[in-house]
């Protein structure tokens, strides 16, 4: 939660299948969402996010960032770049304990 009380979330890959659904769910739950997209010029991929911007005015900000190209991202948070924390992908098992 930010100092102004708004809940905020950053979603990478906001124009992807999972990312766009996550963005919608967060907006429906009153989050302020910052989402990265690989290319804003790829209008077919970004169109659903533009519709969400109209549906939830002022609550969705898009940032163009190709995360596979070093230096291309301008991170939408105060810390730049985000700290590296291991995350599991959905449907994967945690690593075995030793």
Count the domains in the chain: 1
Q: What does pTM read for this prediction?
A: 0.67
Give the pLDDT of residue 43: 84
Q: CB 29: neighbour CB atoms within 10 A?
A: 10
Name residue 35's beta-bridge partners.
Answer: 11, 62
Residue 3 located in a structural domain? no
Domain containing residue 52: 8-64
Instruction: Give the model's pLDDT for residue 86.
Output: 44
Does the pLDDT at position 89 exceed 80? no
Best-predicted range by mean pLDDT (2-16, 23-37, 59-73): 23-37
Q: Is residue 77 part of a domain?
A: no
Closest CA to 63 of 36, 82, 27: 36
- Could you tell me if residue 79 is inside a domain? no
For residue 34, the SS3 value is strand
User: If pLDDT is split at 50, 70 and 90, which confidence band does 51 have?
Assistant: very high
């Amino acid at each position: 939660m930010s100092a102004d009380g708004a809940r905020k979330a950053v979603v990478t890959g906001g124009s992807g299948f999972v990312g766009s659904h996550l963005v919608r769910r967060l907006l429906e739950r009153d989050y302020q969402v910052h989402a990265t997209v690989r290319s804003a010029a790829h209008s077919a991929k970004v169109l659903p996010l533009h519709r969400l911007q109209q549906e939830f005015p002022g609550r969705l900000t898009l940032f163009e960032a190709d995360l596979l190209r070093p230096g291309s991202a301008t991170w939408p948070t105060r810390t730049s770049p985000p700290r590296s924390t291991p995350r599991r992908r959905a449907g994967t098992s945690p690593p075995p304990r030793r």
